[in-house]
Every structure is written in structure tokens, then in C-alpha cells.
Structure 1
């Protein structure tokens, strides 16, 4: 795949990455819609602002994707391609590293004047819907994208571990912005899911911005006393 991409012109690469990002967004939103429909939950229609912002976020994410590919071509990002058990190790390392890094960035934004300028845009709706995963101020989208590329540059992650992480990133994002909790309390409190970022976990952040800054887990919120059940 990477060899194929390397043979393409810059314009074709941008088009491929744009289609990729739009397709991922469409699949994620469709999955969120299906979950809400199966749960027979009322679905608030997306506003024109949400739709336009979602498109803008995809354009910025396309630029970030291209920057990552360019970084790999020029040796700034180095990936392993072996298929072995290290894939799991690299995935867990990337998963926890990004969870901590995004927790720190997310918490910092809420403590500064930047919140009023940038992040409050994402908190316009106290009860989000799946599309709100992509409703971010452009500067915030670029900040998270830069954090992502910086993390990849720190360590030679396995390429397949990166793909697994990116897939789960969308899954957690959609779940966190369902606006309702599809899982029963008994299952959420089970040992398997207790420390993961469920829909309720992130929904509580939207209703009370002083708590639950984590993305994939509640680990850092529990450690730094910002957790709210």
C-alpha cells in the first residue's frame, strides 16, 4: 500500500487521503446512527454549523494525514512492518501514551483562556450526537493532529499497531458522543470496561466540564482526581 502511495503525485495523494478521511467519518457516523436507532433513542438532527465544521475537520485531518505520510517518506517517522506479538505491545503503548497526552492537553485547555476561544466551540451542545466528534475549532484539530505526529516521531511504532489504534480512536470517539449510554450499568462496571471511556464517561464531561478529561480511559482522571462517575 505504501509503495503504491509513494508512486502517486501530490494531488492524487491529497485526494486519496481526503476520500479516506471522509469514508472513515461516514462509517463512524453510520455506526453511531445505527446504535441510537437500535436503542430507540431520539436523534437530534445535525445543524448546518455542525455539518460544515465536520467537513472542515476532515480537510484538516487530510492535511495531517499527508504530513504524516511525508514524514514517513523523509525518515522523520519510522514504522516497523513485522507481523508478530510486538504489534500488541506497540498498540498498548500508543493507546496509553496518546490517552495521557490528550488528557494533559485537554485538561490544560480547560484551565486557560484558550477554552473560551477554542474548546468552548466543542461544548456548544451539552448533549452531543456522533457528528460532534468532528465538531472542533480548527486550531484544536491542528493541535491534536500535531500531538499525534509528535508522538509517532518519538518511537518506531509497528505500522499495524498504528492502524489498530486509529480504528479504535474513531470507535471511542463515536461512543463518547452518542449522547446516551447504550451499555447497561452492570456491564460498564465490570472489570473489563470499568476503566474505559464509555459514553457516560464523556457525556459527564459535556455536562460538567470540570471532570472526565480522558479520551479512551478514566485512568488519568482517577489518578489526578478529576474523575466523576
Structure 2
């Protein structure tokens, strides 16, 4: 047993720095890249699509980045648990993405994303219960006017809830390393864009979202403005099925996308 423990410790010492670096880069590139491209470089070009008139305060963004570094640490420990489980053959995590065929690869990524949306919706709703909110989700909602840096700004308890999804999913579905990478990259990008404060999703001729089955930036921004609706992460169908979509969503989206007749107005929390 001592030899096995020493072997696992050696394995952890060998792989953990790379896992931590990967998780940190994913946040820095995802959140920082979104902030740089949308909020800074394209800010003047998409100014008419800014959802709120105010800018997030620098102190808020500093708090978000500090909290996010703790989230990165927690996510990296979940990544280490995946590496341990794969080393012990508890997971069917494999290298060649074409080993089961490319249709399976596409299905694999799709299932990871759709299942994660369900995981997020239901855990998110639970964390909004009054007895749990202050312990799990209050820090994230201190960012009433979110920025891309908000995407990982979690209490430690919420970070753990979010982190355990992928190890559980990998226990149930054989997954290639590339499929897991695509899933986590999508998760980071959608999360960062969803908090960017500019409505970057296109509108149709009816002023509604062109891809109405996807959550837009306005959709999640409304959740930060008036917590209690719009719990979905990637898709709108759980909110619509469960009756938790904000009734003002379409009007707010029309204003933010520049297709509404009413002037942009800040939400009242």
C-alpha cells in the first residue's frame, strides 16, 4: 500500500502542474480573450448592443479575478481526480478521437454539452434556495453587472458543484481527450461571452433571437439583474419547460440587439 501511495504521489507530482497550467490558461485566454476582443477592441463597434449603461467597476473585476483563481485551483483538482481515475482504469478516457468513429466523437461532445446544461440548470436552481444561497451562490451574484471575469467568480462550494460534473460524466461515457478538451473550451467560451455585457447574438426580422434555443447574453444578464429566472447555461429549453424564463426577455433582447423601439434601460434588481 505504501508503494502504491508513493506511486500515485509521484504521478500527481508529474501531471498536476500541467493540469493546473491548462486550467489557468483556459480561464485567462477564455475570460481575458473575451474581455479583450469584445469589451476593449470591439467595444466602440458594438456600443449600441451594450446591455447596461454602466460599466462594471474595476474593484468588482479585481474581486472576480481573485475568486476565479480559487475556482481554477478547484477545477484543477477535479482534473487531477480524472487523471487518477484514468490511471486506475476507472474511466474509459482514450487518446485517439477517431477510435470509435467521428460520428461517436460528435455525439460524445454533444452529450457532454447537453448533459452539462441540465446539470447546471438544476444545481443552479437548488443553489438559489434561500437556505443554500449564501453558502453557494452569493459571491457570483455580487456581480450584478457582470463582466467576462465573472464567469469563474464562484464561492468555493459552488466551484466544487461545477467541478464534479465532468468526472461524473466521464464515468458514464467513454470519452476521448480531445472531446473533453472541446467540451471544456466550449464551456469556458460560452460562460465568458454570456457575461460580457454586450448582446453579440444575432436577431431575426421579428427582433427575437435568431437561434432562440440558445441562451443569449441578455438571457443570462437578466438573471444577474433579477435573480430568480433564466437559470439555463447554454440552452433555453429547461427555463421554458419549467416556466422560469423571465417574461421580459424578448423585449430586453430586442432593445439590446438594436432592434427594439424603446431606448436601452438598465434593469431594476
**Does TM, normalized by the shorter one, top 0.5?**
yes
- In the alignment, the residues of structure 2 paired with residue 56 and residue 82 of structure 1 have an alpha-carbon distance, to the nearest angstrom, of 31
What's the offset of the Cα at 1:217?
0.8
Tell me the equivalent position of 2:23. 21
- In the alignment, the residues of structure 2 paired with residue 160 and residue 184 of structure 1 have an alpha-carbon distance, to the nearest angstrom, of 29
Task: Return the TM-score normalized by structure 1.
Answer: 0.88
- Residue-pair matches, total: 222
The Cα offsets for residues 33-57 of structure 1, whole Å up to 9 and x where unpaired, read as 2111202355642544323212111
- In the alignment, the residues of structure 1 paired with residue 170 and residue 192 of structure 2 have an alpha-carbon distance, to the nearest angstrom, of 23
Quick check: 49-58 or 205-214, which moved more?
A: 49-58
Q: How does 1:57-206 map to 2 (within 5 A)?
A: 57-80=71-94, 81-83=96-98, 84-186=102-204, 189-191=208-210, 193-206=211-224
- In the alignment, the residues of structure 1 paired with residue 18 and residue 239 of structure 2 have an alpha-carbon distance, to the nearest angstrom, of 37
- In the alignment, the residues of structure 2 paired with residue 154 and residue 53 of structure 1 have an alpha-carbon distance, to the nearest angstrom, of 31
Tell me the equivalent position of 1:39. 43
State whether residues 79 and 159 of structure 1, in contact with CA within 8 Å, keep that contact through their aligned partners in structure 2. yes
What's the offset of the Cα at 1:113?
0.9
- In the alignment, the residues of structure 2 paired with residue 196 and residue 66 of structure 1 have an alpha-carbon distance, to the nearest angstrom, of 31
- In the alignment, the residues of structure 1 paired with residue 240 and residue 103 of structure 2 have an alpha-carbon distance, to the nearest angstrom, of 30
- In the alignment, the residues of structure 1 paired with residue 25 and residue 215 of structure 2 have an alpha-carbon distance, to the nearest angstrom, of 24
The Cα offsets for residues 29-84 of structure 1, whole Å up to 9 and x where unpaired, read as 23222111202355642544323212111111111111111111112221353412
State whether residues 32 and 149 of structure 2, in contact with CA within 8 Å, keep that contact through their aligned partners in structure 1. no
State whether residues 46 and 131 of structure 1, in contact with CA within 8 Å, keep that contact through their aligned partners in structure 2. no
State whether residues 108 and 179 of structure 2, in contact with CA within 8 Å, keep that contact through their aligned partners in structure 1. yes
- In the alignment, the residues of structure 2 paired with residue 184 and residue 46 of structure 1 have an alpha-carbon distance, to the nearest angstrom, of 31
Task: Return the TM-score normalized by structure 2.
Answer: 0.76
Q: How does 1:47-62 map to 2 (within 5 A)?
A: 47=60, 48-62=62-76
Tell me the equivalent position of 1:218. 236
State whether residues 90 and 157 of structure 1, in contact with CA within 8 Å, keep that contact through their aligned partners in structure 2. yes
